[in-house]
Amino acid sequence: MNSFKKFVIVAFYLSLISVQAIVRVALKVSNETMINTNVPLQNVYDWIYYGSIQIGTPGQTFDVVFDTGSSDLWVPGNGWKVVRESVKIYDPKASRTYRPNGKKVALKYGTGSLTGILSFDTINVGGILVTGQPFTQGLATPPRDTFQNVPFDGILGLGSPSATILKQGKVEKKVFSIWLRNFAKSGPNGREGGEVVFGGVVPEALHHLD
């Protein structure tokens, strides 16, 4: 029986088509912006894990939390004002593949909320290009809300984008998994914090107990 050894691995089997390859998305918790399927990861005290994606053509990089409990993707849009000055803002005018919608969106999470507008663009998740992906340009969050001062830019709910990745024939198997490493085992300053895998699992993260 597979078990967990000071980390968490979650696999979701999706009833969609499978085709070509396994793609890994590196998770990290830091203020660095990197896109690399083999990038070192960072875990800040087992609090938040996030990784980098790109939106638009050419790609604009954002650090997002990969959330298994939601299906929406959002990043800050023009007018987004929060405490953290280094937050990155999506610029639709800089993307050749941006398609406007304008529908007002309200998103609520267990620890935060925001309002924004619906948009469409190409996203790059660990080297996978997903075209026409709906997402929200965040415009406002309430005063003293959790999203006012967090070390990430947005949230990628794995429900919708992961299904799109499979529908567009980007991965081999009907599965994605998340490996979150314990901070004590994450290397210097927690830089090896885990990863998200679309199309498979992390074999080295599995441990068998008799």
The sign of the CA dihedral 137, 139, 145, 148 is positive
Of 23, 26, 4, the residue nearest 193 (C-alpha): 26
Token pair, residue 185, equals 């085992």
**Residue range 186-207: mean pLDDT, rounded:** 65
3-class secondary-structure state, position 175? strand
Token pair, residue 141, equals 């969050």
Q: Domain 24-168, CATH 3.20.20.150 — does that match?
A: no
> Hey, where are the domains in the chain?
24-168
How many angstroms separate the CA atoms of 71 and 68, rounded? 8
Give 95's pLDDT tier (boundaries 50, 70, 90): very high
**Residue range 63-69: mean pLDDT, rounded:** 84
Cα distances (angstroms) measured from residue 115 to each of 76, 79, 137, 150, 154: 10, 11, 8, 17, 13
Q: What is the pTM of this model?
A: 0.76
Write the pLDDT tens digit of every residue in 46-56.
767 888 889 99
**Residue range 161-188: mean pLDDT, rounded:** 65
Q: Is the pLDDT of residue 195 over 80?
A: no
